[in-house]
Amino acid sequence: MNNFDLSGQHAVITGGAQGLGFAMARRMVASGAGVTLWDMDGALLERARAELGPQARTVTVDVTDWAMVERATTETEAAGGPISIVVNSAGIAGPAAPLDTYDIATWKKIIDVNLHGTFHVCRAIVPGMKARNYGRIVNIASIAGKEGNPNASAYSASKAAVIGMTKSLGKELAAFDIAVNCITPATAETRILEQLTPEFIEYMRSRIPRGRFLEVEEAASMVAWLVSKENSFTTAAVFDLSGGRATY
């Protein structure tokens, strides 16, 4: 495993109690960073904190609630110091269904978590990064945001919007030492699969030329570089983790 020096850095990882977010937290702790996990599940947060050790803190946060995100930012920086790294990993897939029959409340919830949640976190934390002229932000999008998955229009649309927002924010902050990038992973073996039918899961696997799902440690490896000081030039970019699926 390659090591990137993250000593002295304070990372916030949303959805950090499990899945991709937890794998990224584990990699950052191993690289010397202090990590604060934001998640809605308090029990999972405590389990994650116990596993990560004294470099980890936790805050229970619903990223769709702007006031809660504001409070969490203040609390996090008071306890762990200025936030220099953000990974927006909180997200939901929602059920598979055609657009013309998709439940409207579910559509709005997916957009609220995946897009508005990412916006809220960036909106709260970017001012401090600008004041200190340093930061690294990684938004977790999806290959679905580039290609679109049938019967997953809400999820695909939300992740396409995250890609667009990443590009806009990266350009806005290009004059600062702040890098804003996103990754577009193919399906990974995480609990998000519990929201999908076996048939849809197999469809997703069949689209990946490597013939398997992404391992969370593989995503953590890419993100470890993106949030390091070594990533001093690249911003407003999209990095594929699609196993060969990406067509552009």
Whose tokens are 């890098």? That residue is 179
Which residues carry out catalysis? 155
Say how many C-beta atoms besides its own lie within 10 A of residue 145's C-beta.
22
Structure-token match 């957009």, residue found: 111
What are the sequence ranges of the domains in the chain? Answer: 10-240
Q: Does residue 2 surpass a pLDDT of 80? A: no
Question: pLDDT digits over 120-168, tens only?
Answer: 999 999 999 999 999 999 999 999 999 999 999 999 999 999 999 999 9
Report the residue count for the chain. 248
Contact predicate 237/181, CB 8 Å: yes
CATH of 10-240, one of 3.30.465.10, 3.90.1150.10, 3.30.70.600, 3.40.50.720: 3.40.50.720
Q: Over the chain, what is the mean pLDDT?
A: 95
CA distance 126 to 169: 10
Q: State how far the alpha carbon of 183 is from the alpha carbons of 39, 119, 136, 144, 180, in Å.
A: 20, 16, 13, 11, 11
Three-class secondary structure of residue 219 per DSSP:
helix
